[in-house]
Structure 1
Amino acid sequence: MPTSSPPSDLAVINHKIVADGEILPAVTLKDGSRVQTGTVATLLHNIRLYNADERGPVEHELAAAIPTLFKVGLFDLFPPSEWIAGDNPGRRRVGELALAYLGDST
């Protein structure tokens, strides 16, 4: 897989779901890699926005989350094909972005 976006990028994106003055930390996983907390919650928030026909920055924010979601194992639990199935456009877009991310690594 390609290298992920720096956690600071996600920190800015993920801040949109927390109250002013709150900070979501990056954490170090046992393998030594760092990931930004709040990414799944922000993803769900952005899927709702996407489904309400907000695009542009929201689509960029969905794409920025993909490397971290792979790193924490979300796509092991729910593979991209499951995200694409069904009639939820935001969820489908996440699955498409995940497949595109995988394609970038080959």
Structure 2
Amino acid sequence: MAGGGGKEAALPGWWRQMVSSQRREAGRILAELMETRGIMPLLMKARNGQSWSAVEKAQLLAHLRRMAHLSPYLIALLLPGSVLLLPIYAWWLDRRRLRRGD
């Protein structure tokens, strides 16, 4: 793996920035999806005839809000030809981040 760093250094700066943006956003999406893993037991509870407590309703709402924030990412991945649009999408997301100053 030590040789991989030399290959990245040989790439143009704009390409390294695009790849790092894609990796960062992929990591963020994966982290958000991992946080929503507990939604299925909550959803199945109502299906099995049990009722949700106030705490469970709050958890369910938090999961749904988290998933709503991911919907632009997921929609972009489901569109036909979206693989070709991913570099453009990553560039656009990076521009928004730079504008905010993160």
The structure with the largest strand share of the pair is 1
Per the normalisation by structure 2, the TM-score is 0.31
The structure with the largest helix share of the pair is 2
Per the normalisation by structure 1, the TM-score is 0.30
Computing the radius of gyration over CA atoms, which structure comes out larger, 1 or 2? 2
